[in-house]
Amino acid sequence: MKSERKAPAPTDELDTAPDTASPAYATQHPLTRAFDSFASLVTRWAGSPMGFCLAVATVAAWVVTGPLFRYSDGWQLVINTGTTIVTFLMVFLIQQSQNKDSVAMHLKLNELLSSHRAADNHLIGIEDATEEELRRLAAAYLRLSTKNPNEDDIVQAAADVKACGEERAGA
């Protein structure tokens, strides 16, 4: 049986974190690994009591120096510029950590789905589905969640789930 080669995901071309269903997700550039390590370290430290204490100490030092600089525009500009730069950079570091946590969660859920015989394996990797596919799946599961779904609801929901899985596999 000849294996089909899957086309690269759109995010693979951007050299960013590829879709989790993409073969490129398993390989990683050394610079990406370094950024991931740095982002993990910084976000863990920033969320620690020591990070908070440093932020409070910085603001306190700024407040205390107010009279020394006569509460000038330059004095105010220091805290405004500093907080803007830190906030701007932290957005990217926190997003990297959130992306990593999200991928880990999806992989754990995929493992649970794949290990459970009664589970529908078509849902593995569903996080990379389009908005329309997700809406169709949500409607299918909503039909199943009614107190007494009839046979037609069950058959239609199963067909929708299978169709979404096949569309993603064929894409």
Segment 109-132, tens digit of pLDDT: 888 888 887 777 777 777 778 888
Q: Which range, 9-13, 133-137, 154-158, is most confident?
A: 133-137
pTM (predicted TM-score): 0.64
Average pLDDT of 63-85? 96
In the structure, what pLDDT confidence band is assigned to residue 50 with cuts at 50, 70 and 90? Answer: very high
Q: In sequence order, what are the residues at sequence separation of 6 or more whose Cβ sits closer than 8 angstroms to the Cβ of residue 90?
A: 42, 46
- Report percent pLDDT > 70 for the chain: 80
| φ, ψ at 48 (rounded to 5°) | -90, 165
Query: Of 82, 81, 55, 78, nearest to 65 (Cα)?
Result: 78
pLDDT of residue 75: 95
> Mind listing the pLDDT tens digit for each residue in 100-110?
888 888 888 88
Residue 3 scores a pLDDT above 50: no
Residue 97 scores a pLDDT above 80: yes
How far is Cα 24 from Cα 18, in angstroms, rounded to an integer?
Answer: 6
- Token pair 């803007």: residue: 84
Average pLDDT of 141-161? 76
Please state, rounded to an integer, the average pLDDT across all residues of the chain: 80
Residue 29's identity, in one-letter code, is H
pLDDT of residue 2: 44
Average pLDDT of 21-32? 64
pLDDT of residue 25: 57
- Contacts of 16-23 with C-beta under 8 Å, sequence gap 24+, read 17/99, 17/103, 19/128, 20/103, 20/106, 20/107, 20/125, 20/127, 20/128, 21/125, 21/128, 21/168
pLDDT of residue 169: 65
